[in-house]
Chain A
Amino acid sequence: MDDPLETWFKREVLSQEGALLRYLFRVWPRRDEVTDLRQETYARVLEAAASSRPAQPRAFLFAIARNLMADRIRRERVVSIEAVGDIDELHVLIEEVTPERSNIARQELKRLAAAFDLLPPKCRDVMWLRRVQEKSQKEVATEMGIKETTVEKHVSKAVRLLAKYMLGDSSSGEQTQSTEIAQEGNEHRTRQ
């Protein structure tokens, strides 16, 4: 019996985002296109898994990403095959690694905490009141003395940044990530 598609997608696919991004960054020459590739890979996975769930989600996800890149290479003719590197690298065996469950839960909590700490200060305060204190957006607005629409904007920004920090990889490519984060922080401060 299959789980509902949404539950399956969140558990099996989103948990692989870090690995997927690492893979895309390694093989795709234009780094600024990686978010777009990631989104289209997800969309294809969601469509393909609608009728039945693949037995090996991780391998399935990478196969779809690989096909997508191959399609784009064929269609655009902009990227040369050489640029993508040895095509065999795209076929690298993706193992289904399952670390111990209690470890996953703990790691996920740590990752959440770390991601939360990276939010700009206002976003962090809003998320604390909204998710830990469980106040409504309206109550958060009163508490912080800001407009409700501003709270909503902070929520939107927070969830977007959390997605990036939590799902994206934190173990490799740390250099680029921390640079981006520093930039976001600065950007936020200057706007305040």
Chain B
Amino acid sequence: MSIERANRIEQEAADWLARRDSASWSDNEQQAFDNWLQASSLNRAEYLRMEHVWEESLRLKALGAGLTSNRPPPAGRWIFSALMSPRTQFPSRPQMLSSIRFRVAAAATILLIAAGAYISAVGIYERGRYSTPVGKVTRIAIADGSHIILNTDSLIRVSLTAKARAVELRRGEAFFEVAKDPLRPFVVTAGSQRVIAVGTEFSVRREGSDAEIVVTEGKVRVEAGGPGSPIPPESLPAGSVAHAGQSGMLVKTEAVAMAEERLSWRNGVLIFHEATLADAAMKFNRFTSHKIVIRDPKVAEMRISGTFKATNSEAFVRLLEHGYPVHAEVTGGETVLESH
């Protein structure tokens, strides 16, 4: 306990935050950061303090309403106009397409994969149907030693045969911990998307005929548009977040730890990093029949960070009312958020 230690911890916490915010954040750095956090509650508390301030600083946007200049207004001048106006404006955010590699099909490659497996299959080891109601997350063990975690309001059909392992995601989202079996690839179908793994961990979320895929371990192959599609199949390593649809696939690569965070629903929590309220509300709404409704575009574009219990959207709404220029109106079976 010393003054030097206190200053050092404060400095380190701020440095970690700035480092995490930079473009080059590697798995090694994540490891070092985790070690630093684990080393002492002093570190953890001080980091939370910096993170809180960083998150709060995003509300500068509310004060900078309508100011699109690249330079901040002179100190003291700009505050009043923004605070005095009854409605705070949130300028819309430019699309961050630069950070995403956008890939569209080029060659017309037709692949016939594993289709024959179903026909020649002899012994059926398991054929089952699993579902979760709204608000529940369930972990299922299937016959080949794999595990599946079903998110809220999801439905899958599992078919294990001597030569193939097939899961059809009919609705919702599922995370797969696939047992190694090189002779029987593990194939997940979601709409017209197919995701193929041997032994690995990944999640698939169905969105109509499209699918969102997050890979946290090993590699999976994705056939966007399903077999026979002109889009060439693509191999995704751990840390990939992909959106596969009819016209192609968008792939984003993140540190594995960040990809893991997207799957925090497995533990019943939702983690947001500067997510729009529209996005956050959509994620909460999957866990409850009492929906959060946002019609006000200003509210939809506000951003939030934090960790929340997935089933406790009331607490989330209370927090918003507390810290944002947002008013919640409960009418019938829904909560409507409006700016004030």
Are A143 and B321 neighbours in the complex by a CB distance under 8 Å? Answer: no
Contact of A162 with B75 at beta-carbon distance under 8 Å, contacts A33-B3, A43-B42, A136-B23 already known: no
Secondary structure dominating the interface of A: helix
Contact residues, A112-158 vs B (CB, 8 A): 112-114, 116-118, 124-125, 127-134, 136-138, 143, 148, 151-153, 155-158
Contact of A143 with B70 at beta-carbon distance under 8 Å, contacts A105-B325, A109-B63, A134-B93 already known: yes
Are B45 and A43 neighbours in the complex by a CB distance under 8 Å? Answer: yes
Instruction: Report the stretch among B53-61, B137-145, B225-233 that lies at the interface.
Output: B53-61
Q: Is B250 an interface residue (CB 8 A)?
A: no
Of B5, B51, B59, B72, the contact of A36 (CB 8 Å cutoff):
B5
Nearest Cβ in chain B — how far from A76, in angstroms?
Answer: 9
Nearest Cβ in chain B — how far from A32, in angstroms?
Answer: 5
Instruction: Report the stretch among B123-131, B253-261, B308-316 that lies at the interface.
Output: B308-316
The bracket for how many chain B residues form the interface is 35 or more
Q: Is B64 an interface residue (CB 8 A)?
A: yes
Are A131 and B17 neighbours in the complex by a CB distance under 8 Å? Answer: no
Are B71 and A159 neighbours in the complex by a CB distance under 8 Å? Answer: no
Contact residues, A7-64 vs B (CB, 8 A): 7, 9-11, 14, 32-33, 35-36, 39-40, 42-47
* A162 to B, closest residue via Cβ: B53
Of A10, A106, A128, the contact of B52 (CB 8 Å cutoff):
A10
Q: Is B40 an interface residue (CB 8 A)?
A: yes
* B325 to A, closest residue via Cβ: A105
Q: Is B44 an interface residue (CB 8 A)?
A: yes
Contact of A155 with B323 at beta-carbon distance under 8 Å, contacts A14-B49, A47-B41, A109-B62 already known: no
Contact of A133 with B14 at beta-carbon distance under 8 Å, contacts A14-B48, A117-B76 already known: no
Are B18 and A159 neighbours in the complex by a CB distance under 8 Å? Answer: yes
Are B40 and A157 neighbours in the complex by a CB distance under 8 Å? Answer: no
Q: Is B10 an interface residue (CB 8 A)?
A: yes
Are B53 and A7 neighbours in the complex by a CB distance under 8 Å? Answer: no
Q: How far is the CA of A46 from the CA of B47 in the complex (A)?
A: 12
Are A40 and B72 neighbours in the complex by a CB distance under 8 Å? Answer: no
Nearest Cβ in chain B — how far from A6, in angstroms?
Answer: 5
Q: How far is the CA of A73 from the CA of B42 in the complex (A)?
A: 20
> Which residues on B sit within 8 Å (CB–CB) of A136?
23, 99
Are B18 and A156 neighbours in the complex by a CB distance under 8 Å? Answer: yes
Q: How far is the CA of A124 from the CA of B56 in the complex (A)?
A: 15
Q: Is B46 an interface residue (CB 8 A)?
A: yes
Q: Is A1 an interface residue (CB 8 A)?
A: yes
Contact residues, B84-140 vs A (CB, 8 A): 93-94, 99
Q: How far is the CA of A40 from the CA of B64 in the complex (A)?
A: 36
Of B3, B41, B269, the contact of A43 (CB 8 Å cutoff):
B41
Q: Is B183 an interface residue (CB 8 A)?
A: no
Q: Which 6 A-B pairs have the closest CB atoms?
A: A42-B45, A43-B41, A156-B18, A117-B75, A36-B6, A155-B18
Assuming A11-B319, A106-B83, what are 19 further A-B pairs, CB within 8 angstroms? Answer: A1-B309, A7-B319, A10-B55, A33-B3, A39-B6, A42-B46, A42-B49, A101-B321, A105-B322, A109-B83, A112-B59, A113-B60, A113-B78, A114-B79, A117-B75, A131-B61, A132-B61, A134-B61, A159-B50
Give the A-binding residues of B (Cβ under 8 A). 1-3, 5-7, 9-11, 14-15, 17-19, 21-23, 40-42, 44-46, 48-64, 67-68, 70-72, 75-76, 78-79, 82-83, 93-94, 99, 269, 306-309, 311-312, 315, 319, 321-325
A/B interface sample: 27 pairs, CB < 8 A = A1-B311, A2-B309, A3-B308, A3-B315, A4-B269, A35-B6, A36-B3, A39-B9, A39-B45, A40-B1, A46-B45, A47-B41, A104-B322, A108-B59, A109-B83, A110-B83, A117-B79, A125-B72, A128-B71, A131-B61, A132-B64, A132-B72, A134-B93, A137-B22, A138-B23, A143-B70, A160-B14
